[in-house]
Chain A
Amino acid sequence: EYVEDKKAPQIDKTKWRGIAVYVDHVDGSIHPVTYELLGKAKELAGKIKQPVYALFIGSGIKHKAEELLHYGADKVYICDKPQLEYFKIEAYTSVFEEFITKIKPAAILVGATPVGRQLAPRVAARFGTGLTADCTILDIKENTDLVQIRPAFGGNIMAEILTPNTRPQMATVRYKIMDAPKWSDTATGTVHELAISDEKLKSRIQVLGVTKKPKEKTIDGADVIVVAGRGIKKKDDLKMLEELADLLGGQTASTRPLVEAGWMDPKKQIGLSGRTVRPKLIITCGVSGSVQFVAGMNHADTIFAINNDPKAAIFKTANYAVKADIYDVIPELIQKIKTGGKAL
């Protein structure tokens, strides 16, 4: 059926200026995704010659605001109130609302962290604007339309999305997708207080307690990862990969079938239904390279894939495609490293 394109009144895009970044943090310790987004915001803002803003919401966080200026923020808007000690979604949404109403940014980037992923949609719904999830590529047009590219269907397709007739345009971006800018000596930006009435900070949720999770070595932050795939014949053979990972100062991880078999901790699964990693080096061993797996690791800096099937899909993703039997080449490699040099 033909859907008639009704002429929606065009908004005045010149009234919305600047690229804003939501500062993700826990008790003032800023999540690195924030710096990555500031770097991206700076690049986008440069193209349209507009400022970069940072929105910093919390309690007892003032002393951290300065830091954001060193990563390229022109103006940091800070709302520091005791009521904002914990992430309370309604209160945070209200502060966000104040910020948008006052500053009118053309676009807002939010880290796709557990906080960002719930806060951004509430804000978007409040303003009746579009929100594009988990963008992997961002660009901007002269008319300030944000070009947002994201995967869907488990990474099987990519979609290019615009928010052509509402402002602010909103996008979330996962950690380790954009490149972090270097800390810069010069900080020309300024810090401003964002006022809000106590009435607006009221909340129907109450944080009763916070339990620290036991600190475990997570693959999320590892620089080097050795991945076991179904090419591994039995659980005991994982020791070989653990040894290699140890020698390289890294950690082991796996594809989903090994987790399902109970050979690996679910927290070590890479992929769509597991973790997204962006290590400096990843070596996949006996991994076929399904789209669901690749979605979780294709942003690694250097990818080695070892597989004995020359047609394995993982070779399309790899920088170094090594056609070999893991049971032959890995022991050789381990031997080589042991006799030849140490891991950095």
Chain B
Amino acid sequence: MKILVCIKQVPGTNKVEVDEKTGVLKRNGTDSKMNPYDLYALETGLRLKEKYGGTVSVITMGPPQAKAVLYEAFAMGADNGALITDRKFGGADVLATSRTLSQGIRRFGSFDVILCGLQTTDGDTAQVGPEVAELLDIPSVCNVQRIEKAEQGSIIVDMDMPHDIETIKAAFPCLLTVKKDICQPRLPSYLRKQQTMKKDIDIYTFSDMEDKDEEKYGLTGSPTSVQRIFPPISDKVQEHLEGTSRELAQKIYATLKQKKFIAG
């Protein structure tokens, strides 16, 4: 089975700087990590390989330093990796990212199963997976919480829905986004890390894209445009309750009663 996992480098913390003018993230790369949700996708890929044989490849789009996440994936057991990077790709929204990723994937090879995390901890849209699938014209299943089995030319998975679990058979090639419940990711192996730290990776830039229409990539190719970024505002009416615990209990009680949470 040829497996590909899409992984993204995200800021190590939620405290990030944003360019107020363009609404584009200022990434300095010093404090970055693999999107935690992608660890589950990677683990799922590694387990599929262990069970059915084949290879696990990883791909990321980002600035040059994003290749660090590829090496993290090698230390966990991924076989090979590709970085898609170019100034022209900067400032991409979901659509532009998905176009670039799908072009990069085509360039990288043909795969039976493409795995994505459910979402990221920065942009947090959970949209890249299904958009990549659409642009590759392959079926997609999101919210996968269990892989039942792989068969000749297809895979059977459980999709988590609000009231039920749907068991779905998807024909290869297909794209899955996986939930955190699916498995517990392994820790990177020190030995493997040593062995793979100098491993070659494929690097694709704009000139490697099949579609050379510059207007489809980066900021220019992004239909959405961040107008401004601001801290969350609260418009709550506020009351501070003070007093002894008995007085406070009385005040809470009276308010709950007045708001009809308590009868009588």
Whether A89 pairs with B139 at a CB distance below 8 angstroms is yes
Report the minimal beta-carbon distance from A265 to chain B, rounded to whole angstroms. 13
Q: Size band of the B side of the interface?
A: 35 or more
Which single member of B163, B246, B257 contacts A341 (CB below 8 Å)?
B257
Q: Give Cα A165 to B225, complex, Å.
A: 10
Q: Give Cα A91 to B98, complex, Å.
A: 21
Whether B123 pairs with A342 at a CB distance below 8 angstroms is no
Among A5, A93, A160, A165: residue with most chain B CB under 10 A = A160
Contacts A3-B218, A126-B134; A117 near B142 (Cβ below 8 A): yes
Whether A343 pairs with B261 at a CB distance below 8 angstroms is yes
Could you say which residues of chain B place their CB within 8 Å of the CB of A337? 253, 256, 262
Which single member of B124, B165, B168, B248 contacts A322 (CB below 8 Å)?
B248
* Per-residue interface assignment for chain B, residues 196 to 232, with 1 indicating a CB less than 8 Å from any chain A CB and 0 otherwise: 0000000000000000001100111011111111111
Which single member of B122, B168, B246 contacts A153 (CB below 8 Å)?
B122
Which of A72-80, A187-195, A209-217 binds B? A209-217
Cβ of A303 within 8 Å of any chain B Cβ, yes or no, is yes
Report the minimal beta-carbon distance from B217 to chain A, rounded to whole angstroms. 11
* Per-residue interface assignment for chain A, residues 89 to 115, with 1 indicating a CB less than 8 Å from any chain B CB and 0 otherwise: 110010000000000000000000111
Contacts A6-B215, A159-B228, A205-B168; A303 near B236 (Cβ below 8 A): yes
Could you say which residues of chain B place their CB within 8 Å of the CB of A315? 240
Cβ of B152 within 8 Å of any chain A Cβ, yes or no, is no
Q: Give Cα A57 to B9, complex, Å.
A: 37
Cβ of A55 within 8 Å of any chain B Cβ, yes or no, is no
Cβ of B48 within 8 Å of any chain A Cβ, yes or no, is no
Cβ of B187 within 8 Å of any chain A Cβ, yes or no, is no
Cβ of B95 within 8 Å of any chain A Cβ, yes or no, is yes
Could you say which residues of chain B place their CB within 8 Å of the CB of A130? 93-95, 222-224
Whether B239 pairs with A321 at a CB distance below 8 angstroms is yes
Whether B262 pairs with A89 at a CB distance below 8 angstroms is no
Q: Give Cα A169 to B135, complex, Å.
A: 19
Which of B11-19, B54-62, B64-72, B73-81 binds A? B11-19
Cβ of B32 within 8 Å of any chain A Cβ, yes or no, is no
Whether A323 pairs with B223 at a CB distance below 8 angstroms is no
Which of B39-47, B103-111, B125-133 binds A? B125-133
Could you say which residues of chain B place their CB within 8 Å of the CB of A118? 129-130, 140, 142-143, 177
Which single member of B169, B171, B259 contacts A208 (CB below 8 Å)?
B169
Among A155, A203, A320: residue with most chain B CB under 10 A = A320
* Per-residue interface assignment for chain A, residues 132 to 156, with 1 indicating a CB less than 8 Å from any chain B CB and 0 otherwise: 1110000000000000000111111
Chain B interface helix/strand/loop/mixed: mixed
Report the minimal beta-carbon distance from A52 to chain B, rounded to whole angstroms. 23
| Nearest residue, chain A, Cβ from B177 | A118
Report the minimal beta-carbon distance from A36 to chain B, rounded to whole angstroms. 16
Whether A281 pairs with B261 at a CB distance below 8 angstroms is yes
| Nearest residue, chain B, Cβ from A119 | B130
Which of A63-71, A228-236, A254-262, A327-335 binds B? A327-335
Whether B226 pairs with A161 at a CB distance below 8 angstroms is yes
Whether B240 pairs with A89 at a CB distance below 8 angstroms is no
Report the minimal beta-carbon distance from B148 to chain A, rounded to whole angstroms. 9
Whether B167 pairs with A321 at a CB distance below 8 angstroms is no
Whether A209 pairs with B167 at a CB distance below 8 angstroms is yes
Could you say which residues of chain B place their CB within 8 Å of the CB of A8? 215, 220
Whether B18 pairs with A157 at a CB distance below 8 angstroms is yes
Whether A206 pairs with B168 at a CB distance below 8 angstroms is yes
Cβ of B141 within 8 Å of any chain A Cβ, yes or no, is yes
* Per-residue interface assignment for chain A, residues 272 to 301, with 1 indicating a CB less than 8 Å from any chain B CB and 0 otherwise: 000000001100000000010000001000
Cβ of A324 within 8 Å of any chain B Cβ, yes or no, is yes
Report the minimal beta-carbon distance from A302 to chain B, rounded to whole angstroms. 6
Whether A26 pairs with B263 at a CB distance below 8 angstroms is no
Among A122, A205, A333: residue with most chain B CB under 10 A = A205
Contacts A337-B262, A340-B262; A248 near B256 (Cβ below 8 A): yes
Whether A151 pairs with B263 at a CB distance below 8 angstroms is no
| Nearest residue, chain A, Cβ from B239 | A320
Whether A248 pairs with B171 at a CB distance below 8 angstroms is no
Contacts A128-B95, A152-B123, A281-B261; A320 near B134 (Cβ below 8 A): no
Cβ of A336 within 8 Å of any chain B Cβ, yes or no, is yes
Cβ of B117 within 8 Å of any chain A Cβ, yes or no, is no
Contacts A209-B166, A336-B253; A129 near B238 (Cβ below 8 A): no
Whether A158 pairs with B230 at a CB distance below 8 angstroms is yes
Q: Give Cα A164 to B123, complex, Å.
A: 20
Interface residues of B (CB under 8 A from A): 14-16, 18, 23, 87, 90-91, 93-95, 98, 121-131, 133-135, 138-143, 156, 159-171, 174, 177, 214-215, 218-220, 222-234, 236-242, 245-246, 248-250, 252-253, 255-257, 259-264
Residue pairs across A and B with Cβ atoms less than 8 A apart, 18 shown, are A6-B215, A89-B139, A125-B130, A126-B134, A131-B125, A156-B14, A157-B18, A165-B223, A204-B138, A205-B139, A212-B164, A316-B234, A319-B237, A320-B241, A322-B248, A329-B245, A329-B252, A337-B253
Kindly list the 3 A-B residue pairs having the minimum CB-CB distance in the complex, ordered from nearest.
A341-B264, A130-B223, A332-B249
